[in-house]
């Protein structure tokens, strides 16, 4: 049934890419199944790889990287350009694979493929612009030159919520900079990563430069990456807890880390906001991907003058949402990724209601059962509820009421996270004041959608280290070297 939907059936594989070759079975002789979260159907059975394959992939990446680093930026750019073209020309099939393994509505999956591709295009272009610097010498005979060199072999661990884009935006800058990459996608969603690797191969990426390891033993991969001196950088997108673990493990070899971790995004609506625009923004920021993005609004702070009006307008829109299979016409909300996700969402609602919140819309598993949960609005949310301090990662919008700007900022910043934040206002002075006061790596003002390849994506505090995208993004994959020349 997977194959039936695809124009190019060869984009789904049951093998993993380990170094220079595709392997059907690993040394441990184990396999695991990839299932459709919407139906439970088994989509593929993949090799469940072990330490041996991780080491092989790192070894191959180490060898391949030496030659790749010698190529010009223009040559590396050409490969990424071809990969971009292939991603775009195969967008429908790639979206289908993504929806099958992850569950998000097909139009959203299509958007993700184009979003992921935009990083490939962008970093291909940037490959030619990894500029160094010259500095006036400190003595008459001295000449000082700064060059940027590829950091080397990069390990990448990516999550299931954006199976294509989270990997594309790591792989593209690494390859552009002259690095090689050994990646481990989430075990729930490896097929999109494998499809990316197949297309990279077709685009002419030399063998060994990019591996995609399929395994259910994520901790083992983390340990291998952190313990192997050939790995010079580890880039991770996922939970803050695993990020902390990797940082501890990587300390042994002072491993350079790029971490995109959890968020707890505030979404503030001031009395002077354009309420319809704020509702549009909340719909996108909160309910996209069934609330399963690290930049999803987690806490909605609404000023008292517009609280009831905002709640009513939002409720009207949320009641029109349609839960179901990602391929069904008009579906806005797919399933959650697994039972644990469903349990957490249910617990957050139950806890909030026990502490005084009111369910305005939804609040329970959807009628079709399985992993589906109704898009939900809770009013009367307060700071003692779990959903105020923890990332819910589901389609739940808790509305908190506030009276003053100072209080809103204080509540918004009262979290160990610092990834995305949003607010709505039409007062220019307030816009600058609030944007500067929010302790977040990203601020959306009068918009609920901020992700783009041209801007630096990333967080402060416990939301992570480093930035992805933009002219800054490639720097994470380079080392600066200063050459002092006496003439
Ligand atoms: P999520 O809650 O989104 O699944 P995780 O941080 O658990 O967040 O998962 C993100 C990625 O990290 C996945 O690829 C997962 O397999 C991997 N992962 C989970 N635990 C570990 C670990 N101990 N070491 C390394 N990677 C891990």
Distance CA 5, CA 325 (A): 15
Look at ligand 1, atom 7, and give the residue with the nearest C-alpha: 239
Ligand 1 atom showing the smallest separation from residue 221 Cα: 25
Residues framing ligand 1 (Cβ under 6 A):
157-159, 184, 186-187, 218-219, 221-222, 238-239, 242, 245-246
β-strand pairing of 256-260 with 231-237 = parallel
Please report the pLDDT score of residue 3 as a whole number: 72
Distance 94 CA to ligand 1 centre (A): 23
Look at ligand 1, atom 19, and give the residue with the nearest C-alpha: 218
Query: Phi-psi category of 442—alpha, beta or left, where left has phi over 0 and alpha has psi -120 to 50?
Result: beta
Ligand 1 atom showing the smallest separation from residue 222 Cα: 25
Distance CA 234, CA 157 (A): 8
Residue 443, strand partner residues: 421
Distance CA 378, CA 400 (A): 9
Distance 467 CA to ligand 1 centre (A): 19
Q: What letter does residue 264 receive in the DSSP assignment?
A: -
Cβ neighbors of 139 (< 8 A, separation 6 or more) are: none
Distance CA 196, CA 204 (A): 13
Please report the pLDDT score of residue 1 as a whole number: 65
Q: Across the 487 residues of the chain, what is the mean pLDDT of every consecutive 10-residue run? A: 85 97 96 97 97 98 98 98 98 98 98 98 98 97 98 98 98 98 98 98 98 98 98 98 98 97 97 98 98 97 98 98 97 97 98 98 96 98 96 97 98 98 98 98 98 98 97 97 97
Ligand 1 pocket: which of 158, 185, 218, 294 to mutate (most atoms <8 Å of CB)? 218
Please report the pLDDT score of residue 34 as a whole number: 97
Burial 272-300 (b: 16+ CB within 10 A, else e): ebebeebbbbbbebbbbbbbbbbbbbbbb
Residue 147, strand partner residues: 481
Ligand 1 pocket: which of 237, 242, 243 to mutate (most atoms <8 Å of CB)? 242
Look at ligand 1, atom 24, and give the residue with the nearest C-alpha: 219
Ligand 1 atom showing the smallest separation from residue 243 Cα: 6
Ligand 1 pocket: which of 51, 159, 236, 462 to mutate (most atoms <8 Å of CB)? 159
End-to-end CA distance of the chain: 69
Distance 408 CA to ligand 1 centre (A): 33
Distance 47 CA to ligand 1 centre (A): 18
Q: What is the pTM of this model?
A: 0.98
Please report the pLDDT score of residue 438 as a whole number: 98
Distance 247 CA to ligand 1 centre (A): 13
Distance 37 CA to ligand 1 centre (A): 18
Active site residues: 260
Query: Phi-psi category of 309—alpha, beta or left, where left has phi over 0 and alpha has psi -120 to 50?
Result: alpha
Helix (H) or strand (E) holding 480: strand 478-486
Please report the pLDDT score of residue 482 as a whole number: 97
DSSP for 36-96, written as a single string: -TTT--EEEEEE---HHHHHHHHHHHHHHHHHHHHS-HHHHHHHHHHHHHHHHHTHHHHHH
Max CA distance (Å), the chain: 79
Please report the pLDDT score of residue 4 as a whole number: 84
As given in the structure block, the two tokens for residue 394 are: 């589901």
Decide: residue 171, CB within 10 A, 0-12 exposed, 13-18 middle, 19+ buried: buried
Q: What letter does residue 461 receive in the DSSP assignment?
A: G
Ligand 1 atom showing the smallest separation from residue 157 Cα: 14
Q: Report ipTM for this prediction.
A: 0.98
């Amino acid at each position: 049934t997977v194959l039936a939907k695809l124009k190019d059936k060869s984009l789904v594989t049951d093998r993993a890419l380990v170094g220079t070759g595709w392997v059907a079975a690993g040394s441990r002789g184990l396999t695991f199944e990839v299932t459709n979260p919407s139906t439970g159907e088994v989509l593929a059975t993949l090799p469940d790889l072990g330490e041996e394959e991780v080491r092989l992939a790192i070894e191959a990446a180490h060898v391949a990287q030496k030659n790749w680093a010698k190529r010009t930026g223009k040559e590396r750019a050409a490969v990424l350009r071809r990969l971009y073209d292939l991603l775009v020309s195969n967008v429908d099939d790639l979206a289908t694979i993504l929806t099958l393994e992850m569950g998000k509505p097909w139009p959203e999956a299509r958007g993700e493929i184009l979003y992921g591709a935009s990083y490939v295009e962008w970093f291909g272009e940037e490959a030619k612009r990894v500029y160094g610097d010259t500095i006036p010498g400190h003595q008459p005979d001295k000449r000082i030159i700064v060059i940027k060199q590829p950091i080397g072999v990069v390990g990448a661990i990516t999550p299931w919520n954006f199976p294509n884009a989270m990997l594309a935006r790591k792989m593209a800058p690494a390859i552009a900079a002259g690095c090689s990459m050994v990646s481990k996608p989430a075990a729930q969603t490896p097929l999109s990563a494998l499809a990316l690797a197949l297309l990279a191969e077709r685009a002419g990426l030399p063998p060994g430069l990019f591996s995609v390891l399929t395994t259910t033993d994520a901790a083992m991969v983390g340990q291998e990456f952190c313990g192997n001196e050939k790995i010079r950088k580890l880039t991770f997108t996922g939970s803050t807890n695993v990020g902390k673990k990797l940082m501890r493990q990587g300390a042994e070899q002072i491993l350079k880390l790029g971490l995109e971790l959890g968020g707890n995004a505030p979404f503030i609506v001031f009395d002077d906001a354009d309420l319809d625009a704020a509702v549009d923004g909340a719909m996108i920021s909160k309910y996209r991907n069934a609330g399963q993005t690290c930049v999803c609004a987690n806490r909605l702070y609404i000023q008292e003058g517009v609280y009831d009006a905002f709640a009513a307008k939002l409720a009207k829109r949320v009641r029109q949402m349609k839960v179901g299979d990602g391929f069904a016409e008009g579906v806005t909300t797919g399933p959650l990724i697994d039972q644990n996700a469903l349990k957490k969402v249910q617990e957050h609602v139950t806890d909030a209601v026990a502490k005084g919140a009111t369910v305005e819309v939804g609040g329970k598993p959807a009628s079709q059962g399985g992993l589906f949960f109704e898009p939900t609005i809770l009013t009367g949310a307060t700071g003692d509820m779990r959903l105020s301090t923890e990332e819910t990662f589901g389609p739940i919008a808790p509305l908190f009421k506030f009276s003053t700007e100072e209080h809103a900022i204080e509540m918004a910043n009262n979290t160990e996270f610092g990834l995305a934040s949003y607010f709505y206002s039409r007062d220019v002075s307030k816009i600058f004041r609030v944007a500067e006061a929010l302790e977040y790596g990203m601020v959306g003002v009068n918009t609920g959608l901020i992700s783009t390849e041209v801007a630096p994506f990333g967080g402060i505090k416990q939301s992570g280290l480093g930035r992805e995208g933009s002219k800054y993004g490639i720097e994470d994959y380079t080392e600066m070297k200063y050459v002092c020349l006496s003439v």
